[in-house]
Structure 1
Amino acid sequence: MSTLTVHQVRRRYLVLHGLRWLPVGLVIPVIILLMQERGLSLTQIGLAAAAQGLLVLALELPTGGLADALGRRPVLVVAAVVNLASTGLLVVADTFALLVAVWALQGVYRALDSGPLEAWYVDATLAADPDAAYEKGLAQGGTVLGLCIAAGALLSGGLVALGPLGPVSALTTPVVVAVALQLVSLVALVALLVETRPAAGSGALRSSVAEVPRMVGQAFGLLRRSRVLAALVAVELFWGFGMVTFETMLPVRLAEVVGDADRAAALLGPASTVAWLASAGAAALVPLLTRRLGAPAGAVLLHVVQGVTVVGMALLAGPVGVLVAYFLCYAVHGAANPVYKGLVHRQVDGPHRTSVLSLTSMVAMPSAAAGGVLLGAVADRASVSTAMLAGAVALALAAVGYLPAWRAARRTTAPAGPGADASGTDAATVVPGPRGASMPPALRE
């Protein structure tokens, strides 16, 4: 794949991963309040965001197959350009139709972006050293993600606190800065991500596109052959739906408690920084958790606890209580994400890695879109707290999807029996993969 060493691959992955998420940190604290400032209700916001989920549903697998067939680098470059267009449009979008267009472009971007960088990192690491533990880099990626979003959120809060800059409103200023950072990310992507692929050209492109249906079909074949992988993909149904509570509902809930949208936005900057620092710290502690409990058991615990933290955000009366629950929620989220990714990677081999990651995103994004519409409607008609309680139930139910992986991990410590391979793992539930894809009782992230 390249002449890079394991350490070089990891460093480049972490730099690109951080630059990808830094602009997101700027936008997260203001996006919902910005759309409300431009006249949208929560129901309309949910409908606009649904455009993202629908396009991800339509494009996720084809773009994942394209990345596996054509190469991760060209797909990521196109994704970065689309992201720039989306964020640039957000700066000026002041109608429901334009905001739908913003979210539609985000859907195209998310379909192109989900998976290729992570797949490149894992495959480049194994190409440099087949025995390398790529899990360490994925866990570090979770820490970098949290730190970069925290830094972006802190900057966002500061920019909002400065107030309007000429014709640019206080809530729009962080979006303008995010556009500039996305340009930096695109330049770094072109410079740092290298991969060895067949010769480029129109013939190579046509051949790669023709390979997409086969890659997609094989990705679905992995689900049919692996009960563990199928259940892990199903986790995203509940997780995606429930994440609306702390990604979309929390800013509204805080504004409700504080009594002022601009004050809530200013608070969300430093609050998001603390939340993402908690996420980064929790991601760094994942190896300790998985050594103590095992990855599947740890994931079950984390999802149940995350549901409890959302209940706290919904029911606690003052801003301090709401924010403490928010911090705990993101700490749990920061730990759960790398555990989940590690479990998925252990169930798939390199040629289909992006396609399978796209499968998980294909499930998550429409589920999040449905959550945005349904929970947004509940919030408008009942209350934000009621909507958050419904989302908390969905987050806790995501834990059920880890049970097949938990059973497989427990069998690795039991004597081999009928239907088990030499390690005690049910051979019918395991897809061959790098360094063996049997489910270890503890994963690095």
Structure 2
Amino acid sequence: MTRERLSQRRVYYLLSAVSGFLFTFAFTLLLVFHVRVAHLTPVELVLVGTVMEITCLLGEVPTGVLADARSRTLSVQIGLILIGLSLVLQGALPVFGWILAAQVVWGIGYTFTSGAIEAWIADEVGEDQLTHVFLRGRRFGIGAMILGSVAAGAVGTLDLRMPMLIAGGGYLVLAAVLVVIMKEPHFTPAAAGDRLTFTLMRDTFAAGVRQARQRPLIRSFLLVSLLAGLSGEAFDRLWTAHLMESFRPPSVAAWFAGLAIVGQLIGLAVNYGVERAGLTETDRPGRLLAVLTVVQVVGMAGFALAGTLWAAVGALWARDAARALSGPLESAWLNRGIDSSSRATVLSVNSQFDAFGQVVGGPPLGALAGRTSIPVALLVSAGLLAPAAWIFTRLARTAGGGRDGSDRGGLAGGGPAGGDSRPAVGPTEIGQ
């Protein structure tokens, strides 16, 4: 590997670590902040996420096209600035209306980073290094997230608003640092010089959509992202409220920070152990992803049905560890099936399917939680994710999933036609 490629790989690890710290510092106690400080109801909690996802749904493709056409590094830097501003706004004005406004700013910022980070590093390190780089970057991120959770617990016991305000400033500083050190020497923008026209943007978008339509692997991932979105929004917004209402844990700020820290340690151990055992040394990790999806479904259902606090926590840790490992594997596999020229666009379309699923699935499940109970909504969320395990199993049984647009490696022929999380983070977990 050349020194230039090695340098940008280190920048990616730095970005993973710093954004991981800032993300958990801001978001470890965010839902507690929403419940205790802003006094949001279950329906309002879901609506906050839905507004954010609608913003992501509308912004994903335009920002992905801009990243492919002009600059992926610039796209990331703009996104980090907007994320930082959204956190400052939310922490400074903790009322429902301003929180909704902050979600719009955050959603726009996230779409600038979504796809652009993965597309940037895929070009800079080469596709043969992606699985290792994504997994190692995830470990750097998790390690920093542990520190972020500790810091959030310490600062949050003083004031639940402070982690968001400090993290918001941190994102602004990170963006400024990346302006200096984040380069893209192996990227050729579609827009030569300063000529960025509507026609060029349209052609870049068309090339991305053409890949999604012609390549079964990409279509399969789009369907998985849709299912993950349908399942994930209500669960991610309601699990904190379920723990607080059903089990009433003591010392809320410190307790939720400790919960996050142990979960991150488990995720770090699983990430390292699976790669160390050689289970990720394949271009098509379909069977492993199918198993990880089953673990997520069982963990979500177990969390909803648990009768004791520690049974619920154990199920939550299992779900989160499987989810954290799935993300890098899905990212690496999908990136290998995309042309570099429209990579960010295709990844943004993938994220758009996740956002669409969250917009469609979140409000009905939030309403279901209000009419019945939160555990019922969580069980339905688990059921919605289950078909993704079958999709990964089918991908594992097929012959390939290459770039040629054949039926190898995806849902085609007589199977259902599929149209990512963040990976769940996803997407990096800069903010979802």
TM-score by length of 1: 0.84
After superposition, residues 83-162 of structure 1 pair within 5 angstroms as 83-126=83-126, 132-161=128-157
Map 1:348-387 → 2, pairs under 5 A: 348-387=338-377
Higher deviation after alignment, 278-287 or 6-15: 278-287
CA displacement, residues 96-122 of structure 1 (integer Å, 9 cap, x when unaligned): 221110111111011111011221111
Runs of 5+ consecutive residues of structure 1 not aligned to the other structure: 164-169, 413-419, 432-445
Does the alignment pair 1:273 with 2:261? yes
Corresponding residue of 1:436: none
Map of 1:227-238 to 2, 5 A cutoff? 227-238=216-227
What amino acid sits opposite 2:20 in the alignment? Answer: W
For residues 94 and 389 of structure 1, do their structure 2 counterparts lie closer, same or farther at Cα, with a shift above 3 Å needed? same
Matches within 5 A, 1:277-288: 277-287=265-275, 288=278
SS in 2 for 1:289: coil
Counterpart AA for 1:101: A
Amino acid at match of 1:91: G
Of 327, 341, 348, the residue aligned with 2:331 is: 341
Q: 1:187 to 1:101 in 2, by over 3 A?
A: same
CA distance in 1, matches of 2:213, 2:283: 28
Q: For residues 4 and 285 of structure 1, what CA distance do their matches in structure 2 show?
A: 29
Task: Quickly say closer, same or farther: Cα 1:77–1:293, change in 2 above 3 A.
Answer: closer
Cα distance, 1:300 vs structure 2: 1.0
Q: Relative to structure 1, is the Cα distance of residues 200 and 65 closer, same or farther in structure 2, using a 3 angstrom cutoff? A: closer
Structure 2: stretches of 5+ with no match in the other structure:
410-432
**Aligned partners of 2:66, 2:189: CA distance in 1, in Å?**
16
1:9 equivalenced with 2:13 (yes/no):
no
Q: What amino acid is the match of 1:64?
A: G
Equivalent positions of 1:29-44 (< 5 A) are 29-36=28-35, 37-44=37-44
The Cα of 1:175 is off from its aligned counterpart by 1.1
Give the aligned residue type for 1:18: A
CA RMSD of aligned residues (A): 2.7
CA contact (8 A) 2:46 2:233 kept: no
**Is 1:256 aligned to 2:254, yes or no?**
no
CA distance in 1, matches of 2:215, 2:224: 15
CA change 1:120–1:200 in 2 (3 A) is closer
Q: How does 1:379-418 map to 2 (within 5 A)?
A: 379-408=369-398, 411=399
Please list, as runs of the form range in 1=range in 2, the aligned pairs for 1:421-432 lying within 5 A after superposition. 428-429=406-407
| Separation (CA, whole Å) in 1 of partners of 2:244 and 2:63 | 38
Structure 1 contact 158–266 (Cα < 8 Å) conserved: yes
Q: Contact between 1:286 and 1:339, CA under 8 Å: does it hold in 2? A: no
Q: 1:299 to 1:427 in 2, by over 3 A?
A: same
2:70: which partner in 1?
70
Q: Describe the superposition over 1:392-431 as per-residue Cα deviations: whole angstroms up to 9, x where unpaired.
A: 11222222332452233xx36xxxxxxx99xxx9861469
Q: What letter matches 2:306 in structure 1?
A: L
* Structure 2 residue matching 1:428: 3-state secondary structure: coil
Moved more, 190-199 or 89-98: 190-199
SS in 2 for 1:309: helix
Q: 1:278 to 1:210 in 2, by over 3 A?
A: farther
The alpha-carbon deviation at position 174 of structure 1 amounts to 1.4
Give the AA of the match of 2:22.
P
User: Hey, what does 1:184 align to over in structure 2?
Assistant: 173
Based on CA coordinates, which of the two structures has the bigger radius of gyration? 1
The question of whether the paired residues in 2 share the 8 Å contact of 1:239 and 1:364 is answered with: yes
Secondary structure of the residue aligned to 2:160 is coil
Contact 1:139 1:286 in 2 (8 A): no
Residue in structure 1 matched with residue 293 of structure 2 by the alignment = 303
Give the letter for the 2:255 counterpart: L
Q: Deviations over 1:1-24 (max 9, x none)?
A: x98433222211110122222211
Tell me the percent identity. 22
Amino acid at match of 2:141: L
Q: Structure 2: how far apart are the matches of 1:393 and 1:17?
A: 31
TM-score (norm 2): 0.86
- Pair 1:352–1:50, CA change in 2 (3 A): same
- Is the CA contact 2:84–2:168 (under 8 Å) kept in the aligned structure 1? yes
Provide, for residues 293-313 of structure 1, a one-character-per-residue CA deviation record: whole Å limited to 9, x for no partner: 950111111101110011111
Aligned length: 405
Q: 1:268-310 deviations in whole A, cap 9, x for unaligned?
A: 1011111122223323334333349950111111101110011
Q: Identify if the C-alpha distance between structure 1 residues 292 and 13 changes in structure 2 by more than 3 Å, giving closer, same or farther.
A: closer
What SS does the corresponding residue of 2:124 show, helix, strand or coil? helix
Secondary structure of the structure 1 residue equivalent to 2:231:
helix
Against the structure 1 CA distance between its residues 8 and 57, is the aligned structure 2 distance closer, same or farther, given a 3 Å change threshold? same
> Separation in 1 of the partners of 2:389 and 2:78?
35
Shift of 1:77: 1.6
